[in-house]
Amino acid sequence: MPIKSTSRTIAELRARRGKPSQFLVARRLPAKRPPTHPGEMLLEKFLKPLGSASLLLLCDWGVSFPRLNEIIRDKRSVTYDTALRLAHVYSVLSLVLMPL
């Protein structure tokens, strides 16, 4: 039976293989939320924690500062080439960065 909390979290109680014990499954993604821009994720997940060292690595791998700045400010999307360069610098799969 679905339970709706005061937040937008929907929780369901489901029986586990017929046992009387039940567990709570919660989905924490809001239903009506604009998609997160890749620049915001890049800034929050990679650039802020690593600091200026990550900027030097990006410049070494051919990602120019103006391009990076435009991606962060939501003025430019991430191209396939840029996603590959970011993936190489941050050791992240480029397939994770491309749909953003």
Residues 27 and 46 in one domain: no
Q: What predicted TM-score, i.e. pTM, was given to this entire model?
A: 0.55
Cα-atom radius of gyration of the chain, to the nearest Å? 20
pLDDT tens across the length of the chain (100 residues): 555 555 544 444 444 454 444 444 455 666 787 888 888 888 888 788 877 777 777 777 788 888 888 988 889 888 888 888 887 777 764 445 555 5
Residues 20 and 51 in one domain: no
Residues 91 and 53 in one domain: yes
Residues 43 and 70 in one domain: yes
Tell me the residue range of the domain where 16 lies: 1-31
The number of domains in the chain is 2
Widest CA span in the chain = 59
Closest CA to 40 of 84, 94, 100: 100
- The whole-angstrom separation of Cα 98 and Cα 100 is 5
Closest CA to 41 of 85, 98, 80: 98
